[in-house]
Homo-oligomer: A and B are copies of this chain.
Amino acid sequence: MNDAKIRDVLNFISDELRELDLGTTYIPRITTPSSIEFLRDYVSPNKPVVITSATAHWPALSLWSNPTHLLSLAGSQPVTVAFTPNGRADAIVSHPNDPTKQYFALPHQQQMPLSSFLTIITNPTSSPTHSSSLVVPYLQQQNSSLTQELPQLLPDIAPHLPWANEAFDAPPDAVNIWIGDQRSVTSFHKDNYENLYAVITGAKTFYLYPPIDMYRMKLRQVEVAQWCPVDDDSSSGGGGSGEMDRGMELKLVPDASGTKVLWSSLEVPPTSPPLREDNKNCFIVTVKAGEVLYLPSMWWHAVAHEKSSSGDGGPVIAVNYWYDMRYDVKYAYFEGISRLAEMAGLSECHPDEPEKGVEEKE
């Protein structure tokens, strides 16, 4: 059996799934489901949906667009901020000095008070702390960052989504907060978590492909590199001052160990997915403030920030809940299909080394 026949089978499954169950690439919107509806109609079939009314009662929806409120709650609280020159943390990028060489680029991470971070992200162009070599900040830690770094904000949201807890039979494994702006884009990847992604201010656009489409994600093995400040003096030392961001210049430093990572090199938004004539079957949805996206486990997703809907230039703030996924028949099929795609040369293979130091993404 040749590789083209394997590709035919993968295309068949991808098409069949859309025809039988997912329908068009439109993501439906529903009001808050009961736990059994959520489980039966979305979790069990691994199908995305936007829930429009689940967070309507959260104080955060009216309060978090006001920076003064956030500062009064947690202004001096240290947070971990990711910096890149291009807004593309955890993505495959060409090396600035050698465009033929590509790396999986980790961001420069720096601790600073929430107040400093909000200053530089709220005034990206006018901030005196930014030189011409502008760096893009993004609060995007995924270590349950909301509960770990900004617990003061918890009273403004719900600690979990009750209907989701009941469907998954457990509380969330992590609750993360995301604060960014239009300059940041998250590259295509998948998470082995059930994800409920609540946008609080502004809007985010998600580009989605079901797990079976892994063979279309242009997965490539690339070496890891990290953005590091050029001037060691301005980057070292304890956090606390927004001034450490003044004139920061970042250079891409390859990891000395040669560690490799398997990652998607598909552009965001996807312009021409490989192996297919069109990109029509990318699911695209813009999740607005007050809406929650159910992003099923293992779905490929890329994320872009939209302009703040209020036009006030404020950052886009979101909170997401990661619930443990069940490693059942869907996962077993996916793993088998992935091996098949690798064997047929439709994806580069997983590196032998485990992925070191690479976190999962929204």
A166 interface hit (Cβ, 8 Å): yes
Q: Is the CB of A327 within 8 A of B21?
A: yes
- Residues 198-241 of A, flagged 1 when their CB comes within 8 A of B and 0 if not, give 00000000000011100000000000000000000000000000
In the complex with contacts A1-B1, A5-B343, A16-B326 CB distance below 8 A? no
- Knowing A328-B20, A333-B333, say if A44 contacts B36 (CB, 8 Å): no
Bound together, the chains give a CA A2 to CA B344 distance in angstroms of 10
Q: Indicate if the CB atoms of B3 and A332 lie closer than 8 Å.
A: no
A274 interface residue, CB < 8 Å from B? no
Query: CB distance B3 to A328 under 8 Å?
Result: no
The CA of A166 and the CA of B10, in the complex, are separated in Å by 34
Q: Is the CB of B36 within 8 A of A166?
A: yes
Bound: A212/B335 CA distance, A: 13
Contacting B at CB under 8 A, from A266-320, are: none
Contact between B332 and A212, CB atoms less than 8 A apart: yes
Write out the residue numbers on chain B whose beta carbons fall within 8 Å of the beta carbon of A340. 6, 9, 340
User: In the bound complex, how far is the Cα of B274 from the Cα of A280, in angstroms?
Assistant: 42
How many residues on chain A are close to B (CB under 8 Å)?
44
**Assembly of this chain: how many copies?**
2
Per-residue 0/1 for A319-343: is the Cβ within 8 Å of any B Cβ (1 yes, 0 no)?
Answer: 0000000111111110111011001
Q: Is the CB of A339 within 8 A of B12?
A: yes
Contact of A16 among B3, B45, B211, B332 (CB under 8 A): B332
With CB as the reference atom, state the residue of chain B lying closest to A327. B20
Which B residues lie within 8 Å of A45 (CB)?
Answer: 326, 328-329
* A331 contacts B43, C-beta separation under 8 Å: no
B166 touches A20 (CB 8 A): no
Query: Can you report 24 residue pairs joining A to B where beta carbons are below 8 Å apart?
Result: A1-B2, A1-B3, A5-B343, A9-B343, A10-B336, A12-B339, A13-B333, A13-B335, A16-B331, A17-B328, A17-B332, A20-B332, A21-B329, A35-B36, A36-B39, A39-B40, A39-B44, A40-B167, A40-B168, A44-B44, A45-B328, A211-B329, A330-B333, A333-B337
Beyond A10-B336, A13-B335, A16-B335, 15 additional pairs, beta carbon < 8 A: A1-B343, A6-B340, A13-B332, A16-B332, A17-B328, A17-B332, A21-B326, A21-B327, A21-B328, A21-B329, A39-B39, A44-B44, A44-B328, A45-B328, A46-B329
Q: Which residues of A contact B (CB under 8 A)?
A: 1-3, 5-6, 9-10, 12-13, 16-17, 20-21, 35-36, 39-40, 43-47, 166-169, 210-212, 326-333, 335-337, 339-340, 343-344
